[in-house]
Amino acid sequence: MAESIIKRYYDTLGEGKLLATNCLDCEGYTFPPTTACEYCGSTDLEFIHLSGKGKLLFLSHGVAPPPNARFVDIAPYAYGHILLEEGVYVQGIVTGVKPEPEVLQEIYDRGPALVEPDIIELQGLKILAFKMV
C-alpha cells in the first residue's frame, strides 16, 4: 500500500516534527510537503524537517462559530502570519493568546515576536499551532 504525503505530514507532526521537502534542483523548501517543488516544479525532492521556530509577524483572529467544525471548541482563536527561521512563511493558530483587541493591539505594538511549535490535537488530528516564547 502506498502512503500519502499528507498522512506522512500529520503522522510526523505527531512525533513533534515538521515535514518539508528540499528541492535537489533549486534548493527551495516546500512546506508543508507536496509532490513538486513550489518554486521550480521539480519532482527531484528529499524530505527534511523544519525547526518550526520563527517570528510571528502579525496576529489577528477569526470568528465563532468557525467555518470548519474541527475548531468549534476553540473558536474564536488567534491566527498569525509567521516567518520560520528557514525562510518559509506559514500561517497558523497561536495558542495562549486571547483574541481580544487590547491583547492583539499590545502584541502588534511590541512588533515581531519569537514563536515555536505548539502541536495540538483536535478531533483526532494533530495540527501545527504556535506559541510565543
Partner 1 sequence: MRNKLRDGVSILGVGCSQFGDLLETPEIKGLSLQELTNQAVQEALADAGVDPLEIDAVFIGNAMVHSSQLPGTYSQLAKWLGMQFKSGVHFEAQCSTTNVGAAMAAMAIASGVYGKVLVIGFEATRTRAKELSPYEREPISTDQAWAWTDLAVNQAYSVPQGYEIFSTYNGLVALGYCRKYGISIEDYDRGMMEICRSRRLHGSMTPKAILQETLEDEAARLGFNDLKEFWESRYNPFVAWPSRVRNVVSVADGASAMVLGRSDEARSYSVSPVELLGFGIVYGDLPWYGSDPTVWPIDRMAWQRAYQMSGISPRDLDYIHTHDCSNICGICNLEIAGYIPEGKSLYYAMDGRMGYDADRPVSTHGGRHAFGHAWAASAGSDTYEAVLQMRGEAGKRQIKPWPETAAIHTHGYAMISTVLILRRC
Residue of 42, 49, 31 lying closest to 92 (CA atoms): 31
Phi and psi at 109, nearest 5°, equal -65, -35
Residue of 102, 49, 110, 108 lying closest to 81 (CA atoms): 108
Residue of 133, 132, 61 lying closest to 102 (CA atoms): 61
Taking the complex as a whole, the smallest distance from the CB of residue 44 to partner 1 amounts, in Å, to 20
Tell me which residues in 62-101 interact with partner 1 (CB under 8 A): 62-63, 65-71, 77, 79-81, 83, 89-93, 99-101
Site string for partner 1, 12-41 (x = CB under 8 A): --------------------x-x---x---
The single-letter DSSP state of residue 91 is E
Q: Which residues bind partner 1 (CB under 8 A)?
A: 6, 9, 32, 34, 38, 57-63, 65-71, 77, 79-81, 83, 89-93, 99-101, 104-105, 108, 125, 127-129
